[in-house]
Structure 1
Amino acid sequence: MEAIQRLTEVLERKLGKKIPLHEVGYETMSFTHEEIDEELVPPYMIAFVPAPILCHSANYTDVEGNYFTLMLIETGSESLYEVWLVNDKLVPNYNS
């Protein structure tokens, strides 16, 4: 549920409005190293993580139809690697 909390926190700051939790989608997926897109997650971030690699994903669609996705990838350390997509396009440092 950390992905939901992080997604709503960042979007509320960026969009300037409260995000209703019932409008946020969530899922957890597992991947092998070969299944992870290197454009989304640099290989060095998961090089030492044993498979399966867990990805926690939360998404939200606003009233204009913009689709926001946050993926939190387990890296083997306490910090999770954040991947932000807006309308299915990678947006580096979206959380800044």
Structure 2
Amino acid sequence: MNWFVRTMKRTFNVAVNIDEVGYEAYEFYHEELDNYLVPEEHLKKLPNPLLFETLAYVDGNGNEWIAGFVRDEETGEKLYEVWIKNGEPIAYEIYV
């Protein structure tokens, strides 16, 4: 959560109250994920199934921010990251 708060401030200039950040995690098989979350060319490099974790926050203007990421379950290393604002992906990074 601290990573989310720091990244929101540094990258998007949005101050986040850590107590207002929500967290969820879901296991997905590749065929269950939409390409807007994980483009097909990235999905091929990720485990199947994968644990997709999200951190979510709604700012004072009503904008919904979501950071989604996939980690290696054994090492904890981040494999993929996507940022979504109001339902639209605005940035992503693949680390494998």
Superposition CA RMSD, Å: 2.3
What SS is found at the alignment partner of 1:91?
strand
Cα offsets for 1:66-96 (capped at 9, x unmatched): 1100000236883321111111111025xxx
Larger relative contact order (C-alpha < 8 A, sep ≥ 6)?
Answer: 1
How much identity, in percent, do the aligned residues show? Answer: 31
Residues matched between the structures, number: 89
Unpaired stretches in structure 2, ≥5 consecutive residues: none
* Deviations, residues 2-39 of structure 1 (Å, cap 9, x unaligned): xx23321111222253x221100001111011011122
| Secondary structure in structure 2 of the residue aligned to 1:63 | coil
Normalized against structure 2, the TM-score is what? 0.76
Q: Which structure: greater strand fraction? A: 2
Do the aligned partners of 2:69 and 2:78 also contact (CA within 8 Å) in 1? no
Task: Describe the shift of the 1:91–1:49 C-alpha distance in structure 2 as closer, same or farther (beyond 3 A).
Answer: closer
Gaps of 5+ in 1: none
Q: 1:12 is matched by which residue type in structure 2?
A: K
